[in-house]
Structure 1
Amino acid sequence: MALDSSPTLFTIQPGVPFLDALASALVADPTLGSALSDEPEALADLTILLPTRRAVRSLTEAFLRAGDGKAILLPHIRPLGDVDEQELLLTADPKESVPGSLDLPPAIDSMDRQLRLARLILAWGRGSPFGPKNAGQATSLAAELAHLIDSAETEGVDLSKVRDLVPDRFAEHWQHTLSFLEIALDYWPQELAERGLIDPAKRRNLAIRAETEAWALDPPGHPVIAAGSTGSIPATADLLKTVALLPKGAVILPGLDQALDARGWLAVGPSHPQYGMKQLLTSIGTDRVQVQTWPHAKPSAVAEDRASFLSEALRPAETTDAWSGSEARSFDQAAATTGLTLIEAPTPREEAAAIACALRETLEVPERTGVLITPDRSLARRVAQELERWDIPIDDSAGTPLTGTAPFGFLRLLAVTASEGLAPVSLLDVLKHPLTGLGLSPVECGLSTRELERALLRGPRPGPDIAGLRDVLAQTELEHDKKDRLTDLINRLDVAVSPFLECYDVHQLPLRELVAAHLRAAEALAASDDTTGADRLYRGDAGETAALFMETLLASADSLPAMEPLAYLRLLETLSAGRMVRPRFGQHPRLSILGPLEARLLSADRVILGGLNEESWPTAAPIDAWLSRPMREELGLEPPERRIGLSAHDFVQATCGADVIITRSLKVEGAPTVASRWLLRIDSLLKGAGLKDGLTPETRYLHIAEKLDEPKAVIPGAAPQPKPPLAARPNRYSATEVETLIRDPYAIYARKVLRLKPLDPLDADAGALERGTLLHQALENFARKFPDTLPGNVEAAFLEMGRLAFETAPNRPGVTAFWWPRYADVARWMAVWESDLRTRLTRTHAEIKGELTLPGFGRPMTLSARADRVDEREDGSFAIYDYKTGAPPSKKQVEAGLSPQLPLEAAIAAAGGFVAESGASLAARPVSILSYLHLSGGAPGAAEKKVSQDGSVDAATVLEGLVALLQRYESEGTPFLSRPRVQFQALWGDYDHLARVREWTAAQGGGDV
């Protein structure tokens, strides 16, 4: 039997449910009027080829609907494999996506290929200054190179022609690129041949072409229909041509535009919706006028007008003059836009909420179906989350990125913290992960982790690895039971992760050993008191996918030579990119979220097209990592705009439904967006036709979404006014706390009444607190060792006292590294200052404590202080100094009573309230000097700032003011206000979040604080 001389071609117009029309016509007449067969029972013998597996499943359901419940023998339905290039190359199974079973070499596994290409790239890089620095970078380059190889195979282009490109026409760096591409041209084919494998795209092409040749030489005796494909891949286009010419074959095209005028059809280019089918018809050797309309597929009047309208709106740009000329096509504008509305939301959040409301409304009508079609996976996930408010489970059919799942996230976080030597932030990310157990119950593990965080991980970073944690624990004072609990946790962590941490002590290590150590550590960490780590880590769809990924990586690990362990994390991230977790169960029966590829040929009662912004839909034309546009053109590769044309066809097909809502966001991440080029075309055509507002705006769903979360009443925030009973109010204040009481009484309430202490930041920089502690300790060491007589080398003595102080923080390496050079500057300045000062002193006291009982209270009220330095002067007076690593208060602030620390210490000294190191009280003396030492480091190292000399600040007056202030707070009616004097307050206080400062200042019109 020979091929026919004329092809059998049909089309199903936009707006007609493609698969239902296909099924109903074949059920009604399997022979199609003898066009396919003379056998009435030909339906069971029929072979139908469809573009995607989802279409195969949906056609099966369509046949069941068309059979009206009767038992029928279904045709043999198979996926054709004609899908988007990335899906074709990265997700489809070459053994299942082509017809027939052929004796071809197996396709190489994608991960194995990426690792083997990375090995070749590393070898090339050793002789090139442009080579990758490590295995992680090489794996990223391997993914790009694999994409180029598959692109050439898919489009039937001989990649070796790159050698023939004229160098003079391209940049000089092309020679380096050509050198790199020799990997794909020479070394990679040898690698595949040695292993008896071929690339996935090549195997698919060979299989399809083999089937094409077999059918051409010996046409099958049963009917064959290829439906819904546009022949975007050359091998598929050849198969479609053969099917169209089979004696019992037919090709059904989706949405062929037979109404576009000849001039427009001639100008159709790669970015036009009809480009693929125009190319296919040219390949078959026929014209669109020869294509028949599929029986039982008459579109509604609205669908016809919509299709005509979209055809005009998206006609080739060079022919848009036809909109106003004699060639203008007539259509009913009102009918064309009936059921077509536009939602323009302020942000993606509002867009997702509006879409969710529209989908929820769909369920109000029994049996009515709805679908969101969008390439924006972030928008899809937002919509799924919004629908959860109505307990509507819906899955994004594109799946969830493996990198966004809990099991793989756990594995990645473990690799991060190992590479960082158990740095506090990444370590806590792992320990607080829901999958972490360490052999404990969830409650015990959580409790121990919180204690570890508070006791050891807050503040500057500990030393690396387990040893660093043990050092900090040894130097931290804790209750016995807490210390035991933390010791046990660190021991468990040591057993679980130390073998993996030790991998990072080696310069290079086989990937297999890294992966195996990683998995052992992950499973040990994930074990709980009653479940093994493997059972907890690999359960569910996400766990199984993560397990399969790691098993495949382990199986392919020998494809890569020994690598630097620090590159392992990037390698893991590169290999996992693009891998998805697709749930097997839980899909909603009437609602779905689909990508444009998955939505091909499918239909629903309500169609929502989401994310219609430029560079979102359509996506920006991809930039080839290796070949420029002229190079691609000379090689015969399709231009990047080809994918835009495919997206445009998907858009037109989906927009021709009876109830279509188009949505977009006016801003994304704060930046204004540009509407999709297709929307702009539609808007231009409508406005040119006299509809000044363009598409019908739909605001109802935005309004509904806004009202869903709108509170019944907005109660303005009020500043807190806590009034604890007298017994709970403090009766002991330090001199520094008095300043806090003046500036922010609420902080005193939180600290002394509620007994709340602010936590240090995680992995904090070596900040003012650590610097101040060390400098105070160093200067205290000096003053205590030399209270009355200076050593011979004063600067050397200051440096030695500093070393003793800094040795107290060996487990905080960042503090020593950052602040020791600055302390050396301070020591240099202090040596000069101290030498001069000691000529007028009899003795100095460091970190001396004192207190004073205040009169006039119904209960004991005590003022305490810890002075940094008190000097006994030869003239019989005291000099009091306070060390400041930050900017000290001004003299005006001290005199105004806003910074009363030094005057209050003077009052204690004048009353004989200080106690020397020996335990003896210092006799009462007048205070002649109050001064700050600003220990800034750098040049000149420090500076003295006197705020009182010879009694210019009256300590007695300050003390009287303090008594009056504290007497007010002895009244239970006096509240501890938050930030009563904002002008004298820091921008942000430790307890401002507790006082909800931002809330009530905004409510009072004060803006943000």
Structure 2
Amino acid sequence: MPGRLKKAPELYTLASHTSFVDGLVRGIRCRFGDDPLTLSDVLILLPNRRAVRSLRDAFLRASGGKSLILPRIEPIGDVDEDDLFLSGNLMQGTWERELAPPIPPFMRQMLLMDIINRWSHKSEGSVPEIAQCAILARALGQFLDHVQTERLTFKDLENLVPSEYANHWQKTLDFLRILTEHWPDILAPTGFSDAAIRRNILLDGLREQWLENPPSHPIIVAGSTGSIPATADLLGVVSCLPQGMVVLPGLDLFMDDISWDAIDDTHPQATMKHLLSVIRADRDVVKNWLDDDIPDHRRARNDLLREVMRPAETTDQWRFLDLDLTAATKGFSRIETPGPREEAGIIALMLREALETDGKTAALVTPDRQLARRVAGEMKRWDILIDDSAGTPLFNTSAGVFLRLTAQMIGEGAAPVPLLSVLKHPLCTGGQEVGYFRKMTRLLEEYILRGPRPGAGCTGISTAIEMALTKRKNSKNSLKNPASNISAITNLQNLKDWWQTTSDLIMPFEQTMAQKDASFEALLIGHIDMAERLCASHDKSGAERLWQGDAGEEAAKFIEDLHQAALYLPRLKSENYPALLDVFMGGITVRPKYGQHPRLNIWGPLEARLQHADLVILAGLNEGAWPPEPPADPWMSRPMRKDFGLPSLEQKIGLSAHDFLQAASAPQVVLTRSEKMDGTPTVKSRWLSRLDAVAPDISLQASPSWLAWYRMLDLPLEKKDILPPRPTPPVTSRPRKLSVTGIQKWMQDPYSIYARYILKFKVLDPLDADPGAADKGTIIHDVLDDFMGKYSDHLPDDAKAALIDIGRQKFENYMDRPAVRAFWWPRFVHVAEWFVEQEKKRRPYHKTTATEIEGHMAFDLPGGEFILTAKADRIDQLADGSYSIIDYKTGRSPTERKIYAGYAPQLPLEGLMAEGGNFDGLKAGPVSDLSYWQLKGGEDVAEITSFNLSARNKMDVTEVIKASFDGLTRLVTSFDLEDTPYLNNPRPDNLGYGEYDHLARAREWQGKES
């Protein structure tokens, strides 16, 4: 027989210093004993699934590991849960009304996106991109949930007077009226219901059922603050059931009445105060769930924290405080670190130390997920794996990253960086053996993707490979180094075949994305098909590899949910697909199912509720992080929310304060924060500021040794100042062949010769590099070489137009780069004008005999034969039969001082080779002129620097050439001695561009040489 309702509610509280789930179990056992049959009749309702798991663990601890029959434990949901959840098991047999299932989140988001998009096109102003529509739709869905959760009706929008608000809020209000008018008609054909309304109906139905037929078995609602109105009403009914009880988490029974009346939404007791008003119960009727004696230091801690949270209106009472601060701060400390790296390191040390005590548990509680990841990373130095129970965003998991990268790769036309990001991802093997796939990816990077960007898409990559292969086959260097050239041709041929196979996996989706617009479903299917094909290995399917593990399962569910809702999204611009996928993925979190450490935990504030640990570290206590800034509402301003009847945004701060207060009441607590974040000073949390105000004369600083200990972890046992490198390889390993530019580099920076020719380290071009100074020089050299080769005997009628036309052909592949079009090309046109005028003046007295001419010269030296090679830009023959050697410079020309000091031997050594007839097809002859033509292209278009007879040094070209020869022989002879080291930039007055300075670790030893 159902019993009668009690006249007064039966309300309890568990003090914040007590482990909630353990205290709840103790109270249940005190009231119902250990009889399994009695316990099995008890129904316990908790806020969420995590609390259910924690309570089950608490029963197991209390039983000493013995088997037992548990009570029925069900989650009921709370306001800050992302999912509007109510256990279906709870309703079976008690609520028979058939309700439409809740609308899937993505389906609702897409329906709302369509509404926002159509309204934007009709209204004045800019139309947001579809990704922005998705963000607005998510916020709009949350707004609908809040309105429906608070049991407000959208008809109340009529009570808001538009003229009282800013113009843009008036437009938003108009949109909300349209939405609420049409939303029921949009939702009805789908066969789904609003999740918040459905939950309200279920909770109200359960409440009515229990009112009409009060259950005879015990019902306990524990841990809920009643922040959902329907939940608060249910708590009121349960508290009056014959065997109903409500246990509140940390209700403050000792706060003075004046402060209680002054509580605002930011106070930790605000939601429970509101709950008591809904139940129509005074605080006096609430009893302690347990009658345990509170240790003095725990009572003192409670008193201190109560004062820290005192409402602003009564903070004048701080002047009259009489707190036992010594007792209050027992097991309560605080650490402020220079930055987040040190904060994470110290926390990791504390967690590691906790393991030294048998059975001791420890937990990090922080809303800062980046800090949580840092701590988890620091713990790996001791081979301790610890999961963040708050979860990892799907877009940061391996599967999520791969899906995002593959979409971005196609969206950016297979540009080098996103393409390599996909090909080098651990999941990507393209149906091939892993080692071979990685090898071919490296070849693609080396031969094609480093340097200027190839053409767009898979076709652009194929064209670039074909061009590189053709260039290698036609290379003039093939005869000089046939083995190297054959190897390169073989690599490129293999690369061509491999890329054909790999691009076949990519091109179907690339073709779909090439359409101006497409359905979201087609884009999603094409994307996943490509991703699975790329993930396949030689022995596993792509689906097996992509969707494996917790993250893979969550990613698969995410894609399935998206696919089911895709029909509700209209066609979109294909180029917007990657950004839209990022937005959809942004709301998904992967939580670990297994593998959590038995004694260590990382919790978010939500996960920490109702949990317990011996040591609790509250971290990230900076304003804006904990408590978080109230989220902005794009659909209603604060005054509009108040007028409409929605809770204030500050309610979240009150809930966050309650989380902090509960966690800070643990037996041992450490508060931590970083003084700077990304180099910017931070503001400490308001609760720390209040703690300083309440107890300014006490120091909560933990031992300063923590920071010192952390820094010592990575300190070397012995610190030595590094000295400049002095490599002395065997003489047999030293180069016996260098170009004239190599000789100049040898004189400037011998270490670069060691790295390049002995260690065989080749400098790689940057990925997707913008054309640089070297590219500019190569282009202009090629233009002038073609022009002089075509018109060596005569100039055309319009020489300037002919030269510019050749330049246009050479610049064509670079014109898509803004800097080339805006700066390089106009400067080249100026150079072309100057060059043609210069040629007209020179032609009567000079005859160009060769351009880009190669040569080599052998020297018999004590250490053996040494070969000097060169490629001269241009050699003219004067009327007297002597040669003028010209070097085009698009950068700076060497100064006269460097020439005569022997630091710029390029032209003199080329002169030496010309005199000896060592250039291909050029007869031996005297050299009378060495000239640098600096082609600037600016206001000072060009400058010619010629060296023949110097009035200052009385040294003519012949003497300069001889001096350079002497310098060369001394240089080679010196390095033929095994004791001669290859130093890094040994001459401060002749420094070169140090491409290998990082290998020489120059920054570590510069300025420290003895």
CA distance in 1, matches of 2:621, 2:385: 25
Q: Work out whether 1:799 is the aligned partner of 2:801.
A: no
> Deviation of residue 618 (structure 1)?
0.8
Farther off after superposition, 950-959 or 435-444? 950-959
Aligned residue runs from structure 1 range 693-842, under 5 A: 693=699, 695-803=700-808, 805-806=810-811, 819-820=824-825, 822-842=827-847
Letter in 1 for 2:500: N
Aligned to 1:608, the other structure's residue is in SS state: strand
Aligned to 2:537, the other structure's residue is in SS state: coil
Out of 149, 152, 160, which is 2:147 matched to? 152
> Deviation of residue 760 (structure 1)?
1.0
Residue equivalent to 1:617 = 626
Out of 356, 361, 364, which is 2:356 matched to? 364
Out of 606, 631, 637, which is 2:615 matched to? 606
> Deviation of residue 820 (structure 1)?
4.8
- CA gap of 1:921–1:155, structure 2 versus 1, over 3 A, is same
Residue equivalent to 2:971 = 965
CA distance in 1, matches of 2:197, 2:839: 83
CA distance in 2, matches of 1:887, 1:342: 59
CA distance in 2, matches of 1:994, 1:957: 33
- CA gap of 1:964–1:67, structure 2 versus 1, over 3 A, is closer
Residue equivalent to 1:460 = 452
CA distance in 2, matches of 1:485, 1:494: 14
Letter in 1 for 2:550: D
> Deviation of residue 875 (structure 1)?
4.5
Letter in 2 for 1:3: L
Farther off after superposition, 626-635 or 208-217? 208-217
Letter in 1 for 2:638: R
Aligned residue runs from structure 1 range 373-772, under 5 A: 373-476=365-468, 477=472, 479=487, 480-687=489-696, 690-691=697-698, 693=699, 695-772=700-777
Out of 180, 194, 200, which is 2:195 matched to? 200
CA distance in 2, matches of 1:229, 1:25: 17
Aligned to 2:978, the other structure's residue is in SS state: coil
Q: Work out whether 1:860 is the aligned partner of 2:869.
A: no
- CA gap of 1:750–1:557, structure 2 versus 1, over 3 A, is same
Aligned residue runs from structure 1 range 942-961, under 5 A: 942-950=941-949, 954-961=960-967
CA distance in 2, matches of 1:155, 1:174: 22
> Deviation of residue 806 (structure 1)?
4.9
> Deviation of residue 967 (structure 1)?
2.4
Letter in 2 for 1:61: D
> Deviation of residue 858 (structure 1)?
4.2
- CA gap of 1:847–1:69, structure 2 versus 1, over 3 A, is closer
CA distance in 2, matches of 1:783, 1:288: 99
Letter in 2 for 1:968: S
Is the Cα–Cα contact under 8 Å of residues 771 and 814 in structure 2 kept in the other structure? no
Farther off after superposition, 884-893 or 230-239? 884-893
Is the Cα–Cα contact under 8 Å of residues 535 and 546 in structure 2 kept in the other structure? yes
Is the Cα–Cα contact under 8 Å of residues 36 and 70 in structure 2 kept in the other structure? no
Q: TM-score, normalised by structure 2?
A: 0.93
- CA gap of 1:248–1:41, structure 2 versus 1, over 3 A, is same
CA distance in 1, matches of 2:845, 2:565: 79
Structure 2 runs not aligned, ≥5 long: 473-484, 951-955
Q: Work out whether 1:230 is the aligned partner of 2:225.
A: yes
- CA gap of 1:947–1:233, structure 2 versus 1, over 3 A, is farther
Aligned to 1:801, the other structure's residue is in SS state: helix
> Deviation of residue 975 (structure 1)?
0.6
Out of 909, 913, 918, which is 2:917 matched to? 913
Residue equivalent to 2:164 = 169
Aligned residue runs from structure 1 range 60-459, under 5 A: 60-68=56-64, 72-85=68-81, 87-89=82-84, 92=85, 95=88, 102-130=97-125, 132-182=127-177, 184-325=179-320, 328=321, 330-459=322-451
CA distance in 1, matches of 2:921, 2:570: 73
CA distance in 1, matches of 2:641, 2:802: 73
Farther off after superposition, 523-532 or 962-971? 962-971
Out of 887, 893, 907, which is 1:888 matched to? 893
> Deviation of residue 513 (structure 1)?
0.9
Q: Work out whether 1:989 is the aligned partner of 2:990.
A: no
Aligned to 1:798, the other structure's residue is in SS state: helix
Aligned to 1:214, the other structure's residue is in SS state: helix
Is the Cα–Cα contact under 8 Å of residues 36 and 68 in structure 2 kept in the other structure? no
CA distance in 2, matches of 1:127, 1:829: 58
Is the Cα–Cα contact under 8 Å of residues 849 and 865 in structure 1 kept in the other structure? yes
CA distance in 2, matches of 1:69, 1:806: 78
CA distance in 1, matches of 2:833, 2:172: 58
Residue equivalent to 1:925 = 926
> Deviation of residue 711 (structure 1)?
1.8
Aligned to 2:610, the other structure's residue is in SS state: coil
CA distance in 2, matches of 1:163, 1:990: 71
CA distance in 2, matches of 1:184, 1:461: 47
- CA gap of 1:958–1:483, structure 2 versus 1, over 3 A, is closer
Aligned to 2:673, the other structure's residue is in SS state: strand
Q: Deviations over 1:422-460 (max 9, x none)?
A: 111111111111111112111110111111111111111
CA distance in 1, matches of 2:359, 2:396: 34
Residue equivalent to 2:479 = none
CA distance in 2, matches of 1:66, 1:93: 28
CA distance in 2, matches of 1:96, 1:894: 91
> Deviation of residue 1001 (structure 1)?
2.8
Farther off after superposition, 850-859 or 776-785? 850-859
> Deviation of residue 156 (structure 1)?
2.6
Is the Cα–Cα contact under 8 Å of residues 81 and 98 in structure 1 kept in the other structure? no
Structure 1 runs not aligned, ≥5 long: 33-38
> Deviation of residue 844 (structure 1)?
4.2
Is the Cα–Cα contact under 8 Å of residues 466 and 498 in structure 1 kept in the other structure? yes
Residue equivalent to 2:909 = 904
Residue equivalent to 1:44 = 40
Farther off after superposition, 443-452 or 636-645? 636-645
Residue equivalent to 1:35 = none
CA distance in 2, matches of 1:966, 1:67: 86
CA distance in 2, matches of 1:586, 1:178: 49
CA distance in 2, matches of 1:31, 1:455: 77
CA distance in 2, matches of 1:947, 1:839: 19
CA distance in 2, matches of 1:71, 1:784: 95
Residue equivalent to 1:36 = none
Equivalent pairs counted in the alignment come to 981
Letter in 2 for 1:13: A
CA distance in 2, matches of 1:616, 1:57: 28
Q: Deviations over 1:123-155 (max 9, x none)?
A: 222223445443222212211211211122222
Is the Cα–Cα contact under 8 Å of residues 846 and 878 in structure 2 kept in the other structure? yes
